[in-house]
Amino acid sequence: MCYFVSVQKTDFNLSHILEQSWVRIHSAMAVSDQQCYRLLHDLKYEFQIDVYGSVLWVYWYLQVAPNENQIQIFSDFCKSKNLNYVIRHMINRGAGVGGLEKHDLIRSDGVLDQWLANENSLQFQLRTNAGFSPGLFLDQSQNRRWVLENSKDQKVLNLFSYTSGFSVAAASGKALQVTTVDASSNFLNWSKENFKLNSLDPEKYEFFAQDVLLFLTGSQKRNRKWDLIICDPPSFGRTKTTVWKIEKDLPNLVLNMWACMSDNGKILFTCNYEKWTLSDLEKVFRKTLSTEKFKIEKLPEVSFDFKIENSVQNLTKGFFILKIF
C-alpha cells in the first residue's frame, strides 16, 4: 500500500519539489533538449512527472483536479525551463484509452497535438490526444535499451506493442526479423510512423492488428518461432470480440509464448498489475511451466535513466524467461 501526502502539503511544496527534482536529475546526467526521462517518481506524492523533450507530462492522481495555484506553479516552472506542460488528471484511470480521461487534460498554450522526442538515440512521435500516455512508457526505457543492444541477428516478436518502442529498438539494433502485434490498428499506424522517424522502412517488417492469443495460436499452426519475445500486457483490455484479464488469461498467454520460442529463445516479460508482486508473477510462470525446463533472470537493474533517491519500487515488474536444456 502507498501512502500519500495531503493535498495541502502537496500544494505548499510543489514548487520546491519541482526544482529539487530538476536539480537532482540535471546534476546527475547530461540531458539534451529533446530527451525523454522521468523527472519525479516518488509515490509519496500523488503525481508523477515525465519529460518528453519539450513537454513536461504530469500524471495527477489526486481526486481533486489541480487548482489554479498548482497550475500556475507548473506554468512558472516550465517557463523557467523552456518547457510546455500537460497535466493528465487520472481520475478515470482504467476507463480505457480514448475514454473519459480526454476531458481531464490541462495543457499550456504552446503544446502541439503531436511532437517529437528522443530516447536511447531513437526518435519517437508523442501525442496529447491518445490516452493516458503520450505514446512512450518511460519505465521501460532501460528494457528498450537492452533490446536495442541485444537484438542483432535475432528474430523478435513484440506483443501488445502499443506504439512499438520495443520494435523500433529491435529493428534499429539490427534484428534479423521484427514482428509487431497489437489489437489496435491505430497504434500500429502510429508505430509505422515511429519506424519512419528512425529511417526504418515499415514495409520490411511485419505488423499484425490482431488479438495476441489468436496470433500466437495461428503462429503455432505455421510453426513460427522467435528468438526474443517481448510482452508487456495490460491488466485489462477489450477488443470487438475478446476481453483480456491478466489474472485469468496470463497462464494461457505463457503457454502460447513458450510454444513460439526458438530452442535458444528468451521472453522479456513485464506487467504493472498492481495486485501482484514480482514473486506472485514468478509463481504464475513457475506453475504454468512446471513441466518445462527454464530459468528466470533479472531485467536491467535500473528502471529509469537516473534512480531517484527515496523513490518506491516501480509498479512495472518483470524478468527474462530462458529455455534451458
For cell 541477428, what's the residue? 153
pLDDT at position 43 is 65
pTM of the model: 0.90
CATH number at residue 276: 3.40.50.150
Q: Are 162 and 38 part of one and the same domain?
A: no
CATH number at residue 107: 3.30.750.80
Total domains in the fold of the chain: 2
* pLDDT, tens digit (0-9, with 9 covering 90-100), for 133-189: 999 999 999 999 999 999 999 999 999 999 999 999 999 999 999 999 999 999 999
Q: Are 248 and 104 part of one and the same domain?
A: no
Q: Are 265 and 163 part of one and the same domain?
A: yes
Domain for residue 2, yes or no? no
Domain that holds residue 306: 138-323
pLDDT at position 241 is 77
Of 127, 151, 180, which residue is a domain's last?
Answer: 127
pLDDT at position 306 is 41
302: nearest Cα among 113, 81, 29:
29
* pLDDT, tens digit (0-9, with 9 covering 90-100), for 196-252: 999 999 999 999 999 999 999 999 999 999 999 999 999 888 777 788 889 999 999
Judged against a pLDDT cut of 70, whether residue 11 lies above it is answered with no
| Amino acid at the residue 44 | K
DSSP state of 204: G
Domain for residue 64, yes or no? yes
Cell of residue 120, nine digits: 536511447
Residues 199, 256: Cα–Cα separation, whole Å: 32
Q: Are 143 and 122 part of one and the same domain?
A: no
